[in-house]
């Protein structure tokens, strides 16, 4: 029976079409203005159809958040070209900021908005987030083992660095750096990050 296989394929294709339309609308008009009706109109289906393929809007946003993580992971893995872990730490931080500033909507979906998290089973893990977290932590551990970072608990290091860059980009994206001269904000953010990592670097031993 090749028919049921074709049907499954078609279902998967329509599901994908919905996600693509959703991503287009989302990137164009932002989270607050993305509606099911707009997505439906974009792909020329009725609003009701979308609910055959997705439980609710949160599930759609969770899927978009998932593909966003794939992109961030790519950006992070590119830093593996650096031979020294400490150089990779700097590179990950810089790329993280760049990613957030270049993809503000995606960034908010991944780390700010509540919606995509609501689609996650409370028991279950936040796999997407954890993948990137653990990648970064593994680099930090290597840097500590090589004596390039001070002997601080890697969990603490990881949370601190992550929170710092997350804080920088979200304060910026949500316009809380409004009073700083706008053309100096991005350099300031990047300077802040470099200085931060520097403070945690091991001092040259005598």
Partner DNA sequence: TGCATTTTTGAACACTGTTCAATATATTTG
Partner DNA sequence: CAAATATATTGAACAGTGTTCAAAAATGCA
The answer to whether 192 contacts its own copies (rule: CB under 8 A) is yes
Q: Tell me the helix, strand and coil percentages in the chain, rounded to 5.
A: 75, 0, 20
Contact indicator for 77, 139 with CB cutoff of 8 Å: no
Minimum Å gap between C-beta 141 and DNA is: 41
Residues 43, 25: Cα–Cα separation, whole Å: 10
Shortest distance, position 64 Cβ to DNA, whole Å: 13
* Integer Cα distance of 166 and 173 in angstroms: 10
Q: How many CB atoms lie within 10 A of CB 142?
A: 17
**How far, in whole angstroms, is CA 192 from its chain's centroid?**
20
- Measured between alpha carbons, how far apart are the two ends of the chain, in Å? 75
Q: CB–CB of 180/187 below 8 Å?
A: no
Give the tokens for residue 163.
Answer: 């929170």
**Interacting residue with DNA among 47, 71, 163, 184 (CB under 7 A):** 47
Do 64 and 26 form a contact (C-beta atoms < 8 A)? yes
Cα distance between residue 127 and residue 87, in whole Å: 26
User: In terms of CB distance, is 12 or 180 closer to its own copies?
Assistant: 180
Binding to DNA by residue 34, rule CB under 7 A? yes
Provide the 10 A C-beta neighbour count for residue 127. Answer: 10
Count residues near its own copies (CB under 8 A): 41
Among 55-63, 72-80, 95-103, 196-204, the segment contacting its own copies (CB under 8 A): 196-204
Shorter beta-carbon distance to its own copies: residue 146 or 176: 176
Q: Which does 192 bind (CB under 5 to 8 A by kind): DNA, its own copies, none?
A: its own copies
Q: Does position 11 bind DNA by CB under 7 A?
A: yes
179 binds, among its own copies, DNA, none (CB under 5 to 8 A by kind): its own copies
Residues 51-70 as x/- pattern, contact with DNA by CB under 7 A: xx---xxx------------
138 counts as binding DNA under rule CB under 7 A: no
For its own copies, the binding residues (CB under 8 A) are 32, 111-114, 117, 120, 125-126, 129-130, 133, 150, 152, 155-156, 159-160, 162-168, 170-171, 174-179, 188-189, 191-192, 195-196, 199-200
């Amino acid at each position: 029976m090749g028919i049921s296989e074709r049907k499954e394929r078609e279902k998967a294709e329509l599901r994908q079409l919905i996600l693509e339309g959703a991503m287009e609308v989302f990137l164009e008009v932002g989270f607050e203005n993305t509606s099911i009706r707009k997505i439906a109109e974009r792909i020329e289906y009725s609003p009701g159809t979308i609910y055959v393929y997705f439980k609710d809007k949160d599930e759609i946003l969770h899927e978009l958040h998932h593909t966003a993580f794939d992109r961030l992971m790519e950006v992070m893995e590119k830093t593996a070209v650096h031979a020294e872990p400490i150089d990779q730490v700097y590179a990950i931080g810089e790329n993280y900021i760049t990613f957030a500033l270049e993809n503000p909507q995606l960034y908010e979906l991944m780390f700010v908005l509540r919606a995509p998290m609501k689609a996650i089973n409370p028991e279950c893990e936040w796999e997407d987030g954890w993948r990137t977290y653990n990648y970064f932590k593994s680099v930090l551990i290597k840097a500590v083992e090589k004596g390039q970072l001070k002997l601080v608990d890697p969990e603490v290091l990881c949370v601190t660095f992550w929170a710092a860059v997350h804080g920088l980009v979200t304060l910026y994206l949500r316009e809380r750096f409004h009073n700083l001269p706008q053309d100096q904000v991005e350099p300031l953010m990047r300077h802040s990050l470099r200085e931060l990592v520097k403070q945690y670097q091991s001092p040259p031993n005598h």
